[in-house]
């Protein structure tokens, strides 16, 4: 029997691996160079407990690791092997130097991530997670790519747009304004060139810089005109800049009868952040004449708090009537990529949506009490939100005022709040 052969082998000084191999019919466990061809079967990794899987194959390495970990072994220490990457589609390995770009971006964590993001926007994600095999990895100093020569051409074009001298810090004007009525289009339509937009309800136009300045001046004369952010920001080429203007709104979410005072219920408060978040990621072309930009905007507003009266039991066993509030929300989302000439201005209109800013007030600074009044059938914060995006060129060449407001300064409400 097999145990007798093992016992005899041990008494005769046979190596345990040889004795086991002779019994099972497999190769000696120490013969790494004698792995049979069947060991290359990728399905062999599923039999992690099979001792006959040779340790020289990738499957055997997994099996050895699983068995070693269970028995307190050393895992992969004696089962490593160099594996060649498949190149059935002619894939090649290339490394790109990112230091000329990342060394300039000192105020952003992981600036190399922007390079990866823009490559994925240009190529799509599917080509990196399907056949043929592709690898995309970035460190602060290196961009490593393994793919077909055609894909390397796309990657190289994006890479040059980051490391080129044109890719230094850009001055971008982001001006978000609102007007209560969309009738401004009547006078401005002739000076605007429409742009195709995929997001429903969103319109886009191109204007010359002179026409944009004229339109802004005319809009600012309207009594319903409001500006919601400081216009000029500094953005490293390819990086994402975020503008956030939000404020908390509290409401009574729920109630129970376990208050500290026997006759008073305990109110549970909720909070909703209303306002807007605007993200812009611009990437200049090699010659600096074209801008690619991914724009993401989110607007959330509490349209009204619907009061609901509920009965809850108190600690004394009596029923109490308590009023809670159910928030009625209005939200709007935009996430799209645009490309336009750098010497023109991109204008986006979100339509009449929830106002991204605070509630309007009258000239005395008193909030409009007629808003959200069921007798007047009005709702708060409806406006046509407009976003002007204009390139002002490189930061080193732009003529900026010495006392210009910082990027993340508070919005200027002109004394209305």
* 56 or 371, which is more confident: 371
pTM (predicted TM-score): 0.68
Domain ranges of the chain: 22-83, 92-163, 170-394
**Which range has the top average pLDDT, 8-22, 223-237, 256-270, 295-309?**
295-309
Give me the CATH topology for the region 92-163: Ribosomal Protein S8; Chain: A, domain 1 (3.30.1370)
| Model pLDDT, residue 326 | 94
Q: Give pLDDT, residue 349.
A: 92
Q: List, for residues 24-44, the tens digit of each pLDDT value.
A: 333 333 332 333 333 333 333
* pLDDT averaged over every residue in the chain: 75
From residue 314, give the alpha-carbon distance in Å to each of 155, 265, 270, 317. 67, 7, 22, 5
Rounded percentage of the chain residues whose pLDDT exceeds 90: 45
Q: Identify which has the larger pLDDT, 217 or 39.
A: 217
Per-residue pLDDT averaged across 342-356, rounded? 86
Stretch 50-75: mean pLDDT, rounded?
A: 38
pLDDT band at 259 (very low <50, low <70, confident <90, very high): low
Longest dimension (CA), the chain: 105
Rg (CA), the chain: 33
**Mean pLDDT across 344-359:** 79
DSSP state of 155: H
CA distance 232 to 404: 9
């Amino acid at each position: 029997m097999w145990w007798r052969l093992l016992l005899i082998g041990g008494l005769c000084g046979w190596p345990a691996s040889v004795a086991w191999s002779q019994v099972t019919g497999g190769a000696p466990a120490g013969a790494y160079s004698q792995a049979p061809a069947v060991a290359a079967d990728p399905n062999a990794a599923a039999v992690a407990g099979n001792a006959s899987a040779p340790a020289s194959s990738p499957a055997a390495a997994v099996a050895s690791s699983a068995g070693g970990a269970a028995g307190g072994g050393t895992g992969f220490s004696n089962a490593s092997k160099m594996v060649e990457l498949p190149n059935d589609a002619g894939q090649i390995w290339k490394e790109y130097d990112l230091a000329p770009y990342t060394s300039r971006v000192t105020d952003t964590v992981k600036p190399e991530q922007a390079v990866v993001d823009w490559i994925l926007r240009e190529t799509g994600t599917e080509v990196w997670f399907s056949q043929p095999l592709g690898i995309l990895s970035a460190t602060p100093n290196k961009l490593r790519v393994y793919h077909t020569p055609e894909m390397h051409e796309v990657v190289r074009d994006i890479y040059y747009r980051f490391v080129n001298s044109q890719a230094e810090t850009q001055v971008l004007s982001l001006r978000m304004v609102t007007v209560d009525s969309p009738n401004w289009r009547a006078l401005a339509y002739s000076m605007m060139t429409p742009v195709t937009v995929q997001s429903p309800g969103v319109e886009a136009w191109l204007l010359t810089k002179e026409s944009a300045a004229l339109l802004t001046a005319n809009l600012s004369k309207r009594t319903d005109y409001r500006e919601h952010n400081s216009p000029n920001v500094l953005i490293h080429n390819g990086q994402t800049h975020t503008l956030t203007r939000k404020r908390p709104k509290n409401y009574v979410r729920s109630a129970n009868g376990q208050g500290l005072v026997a006759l008073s219920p305990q109110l549970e408060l909720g909070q909703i952040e209303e306002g807007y978040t605007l993200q812009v990621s611009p990437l200049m072309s090699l010659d600096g004449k074209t801008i690619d930009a991914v724009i993401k905007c989110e607007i959330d507003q509490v349209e009204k708090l619907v009061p609901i009266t509920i009965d809850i039991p108190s600690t004394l066993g009596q029923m109490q009537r308590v009023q809670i509030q159910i928030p009625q929300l209005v939200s709007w989302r935009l996430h799209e990529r645009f490309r336009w000439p750098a010497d023109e201005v991109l204008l986006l209109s979100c339509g009449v949506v929830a106002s991204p800013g605070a509630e309007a007030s009258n000239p005395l600074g008193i909030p409009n009490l007629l808003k959200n009044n069921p007798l007047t059938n009005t709702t708060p914060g409806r406006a046509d939100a407009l976003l002007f995006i204009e390139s002002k060129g490189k930061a080193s060449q732009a003529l900026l005022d010495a006392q210009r407001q910082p990027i993340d300064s508070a919005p200027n409400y002109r004394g209305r709040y």
